[in-house]
Amino acid sequence: MAYVPKSHTFEEGRTISSAIKASFVPRFLLEKRVVSVSDGFRSYTGLTVNEKTSFGISVLGEAWVHFGSYGIFLMAAIGAFFGVIMRLVLVAARSFPTIVLWTPLLFLQAAKAETELVIVLNHLAKTGALIAVMYFIAYRFLKWRI
């Protein structure tokens, strides 16, 4: 926490916007990027790790890196976003009760301590789309009511 304000300026949301874009815009529409998971860890902590090790700074770490102590508002927004996702699952459960059983998979990356925001959003978007497609195919084409 001391490294960012002293040796590295606050990011002020720059990587958050790229995380949102990378999660919800298809890859073929964006430029190709090669980023290691440990890049953020190195630049925001000043510590080095070898090539075989990867560290993420976590969503909480990203909140600090971007806004300092005001990062609590980013954490509240992320929590509210997770609440909206959970509300959508519960609304869908009125028609498809078994969809609730998929919530651990849906929030799998959100529960990991070292996972960065781009990975959490990517996982939510891709897993949510996969679950929706599976239920659509089961209901529409296979005539299963699961």
Predicted TM-score (pTM) above 0.85: no
pLDDT value at residue 78: 93
pLDDT value at residue 1: 66
Average pLDDT over residues 10-22: 77
Long-range pairs of 123-132 with CB within 8 A, sequence gap ≥ 24: 124/23, 124/85, 125/23, 125/24, 128/85, 131/99, 131/102, 131/105, 131/106
Q: pLDDT category, 82, cuts 50, 70, 90?
A: very high
Phi and psi torsions of 26, nearest 5° = -60, 145
Does the pLDDT value for residue 10 go beyond 90?
Answer: no
